[in-house]
Amino acid sequence: MATPPVCSYEGSDYQKRFWDEGDRAYEDRVEAIALRRLLPHGGPRLLELGAGAGRNTPRYVGFEHVVLVDYSRTQLEQAQQRLGAGPRYTYVAADIYRLPFAPSAFPAATMVRTLHHMADPLAALRQTRRSMSS
């Protein structure tokens, strides 16, 4: 099945340029508040789609395991440098349109600053929903 084109951040210095040096502390804090209010307090697994360099990942404190998905390996490498290679995190290079997970595998999922990159957002949301248990 053909899938829509991907807006990959392979090789991008997005985290450094946009966040670390971009004077965006206010936006970053607003996201922290939104995530705290919108997410369940915790659970066994959280799926983070379009995780990038893992900027938001440390905020998922109540979840035992976080699976970070990004199309770009270099973004996942940056995330691993930030978060470490410990057992709490799994780094998966995959396309959101073809998620390699069993149906209903995750009780919670996030997709931050990524949906607007999707040529077919409905297909991306359908894949997300399929991976979620509730």
89: enclosing H helix or E strand: strand 89-93
Minimum distance, C-beta of residue 19 to ligand SAM, in the bound complex (Å) = 7
C-beta closer to ligand SAM: residue 65 or 123? 123
Q: Where do contacts with ligand SAM occur on this chain (CB under 6 A)?
A: 6-9, 14, 50-52, 55-56, 69-72, 75, 95-97, 112-114, 117
For residues 72 and 91, give the distance between their C-alpha atoms in angstroms, rounded to a whole number: 11
Minimum distance, C-beta of residue 44 to ligand SAM, in the bound complex (Å) = 22
CB-count exposure of residue 116 (10 Å: 0-12, 13-18, 19+) = exposed
Tokens 């490498």 locate to 77
Tokens 């390996």 locate to 73
Minimum distance, C-beta of residue 101 to ligand SAM, in the bound complex (Å) = 13
C-beta closer to ligand SAM: residue 75 or 131? 75
